[in-house]
């Protein structure tokens, strides 16, 4: 599903160059649940922006479902983001005075999907994300943090994307609520075969995924099964 090959990203500011990524390569199969983990400044956010078609690499290639995303125009990147990728962010990014249902319907409104179909798909996405039906018509500012994040997950699901990209999705949640949200991602992966990439700096969060790619100083230093404690402990020693 995903093939990243020799990706580099260099930022130039006057005479200064910052090498955020230095030849990153990996593949992710359809239906995998992968965490990309690393400390601040490791390059994981830059990599996330490339995987999310929010930026393009300086060199190397990125294929998503056989589309060479690294060569696309801005309009083509926008089309990939709209139709192929569902985003879940730490800050939720919901409209506070809109209901949970309307927040989830918004991408379908922009896509000019008929109203009856919008409601049907939005309710299905909310159910898949695990939000109780009696919360669908609550304003998002009337929901708990965990419920809000489930609405955000539903919004990411509503267009049936090939990839769900979650950037520090538990960063604004307490540990118990965070575990519930991470459990939602696990269920979506196991039961619905969703491909999920989770960006995090926390080992405890990364271990909810099946595989961890550990990045530091713009290079991958570990890549393996999240249940192999040797991989994580090795990565932590390198940090």
Tell me, what's the pLDDT at 169?
93
> Which tokens belong to 8?
């580099």
The domains located in the chain, with CATH, are 2-238 (3.40.50.300)
At 239 the pLDDT is 43
Q: How far is CA 57 from the centre of its chain?
A: 18
Looking at residue 233, its pLDDT comes to 43
Which residue in this structure is represented by tokens 């997950």? 153
Query: What pLDDT shows up at residue 90?
Result: 87
pLDDT at 167 (0 to 100): 94
Which residues in the chain land under pLDDT 70? 228-239
């Amino acid at each position: 599903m995903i093939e990243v090959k020799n990706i580099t990203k260099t930022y130039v500011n006057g005479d200064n160059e910052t090498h955020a990524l230095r030849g990153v390569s990996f593949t992710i199969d359809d239906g995998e649940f992968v965490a990309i983990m690393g400390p601040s400044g490791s390059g994981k956010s830059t990599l996330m922006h490339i995987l999310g078609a929010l930026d393009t690499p300086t060199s190397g290639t990125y294929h998503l479902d056989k589309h060479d995303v690294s060569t696309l125009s801005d309009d083509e990147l926008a089309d990939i983001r709209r139709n192929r990728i569902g985003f879940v962010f730490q800050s939720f990014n919901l409209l506070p005075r809109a209901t949970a249902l309307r927040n989830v319907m918004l991408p379908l409104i922009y896509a000019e999907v008929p109203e009856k179909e919008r409601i049907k798909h939005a309710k299905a996405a909310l159910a898949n994300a695990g939000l109780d039906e009696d919360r669908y018509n609550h304003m998002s500012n009337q929901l708990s943090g965990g419920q809000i994040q489930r609405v955000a997950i539903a919004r990411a699901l509503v267009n049936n994307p090939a990839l769900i990209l979650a950037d520090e999705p538990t960063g604004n949640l307490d540990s118990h609520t965070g575990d519930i949200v991470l459990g939602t991602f696990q269920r979506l992966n196991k039961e619905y075969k969703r491909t999920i990439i989770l960006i995090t700096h926390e080992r405890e969060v990364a271990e909810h995924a099946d595989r961890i790619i550990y990045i530091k100083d713009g290079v991958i230093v570990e890549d393996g099964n999240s249940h192999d404690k040797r991989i994580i402990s090795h990565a932590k020693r390198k940090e």
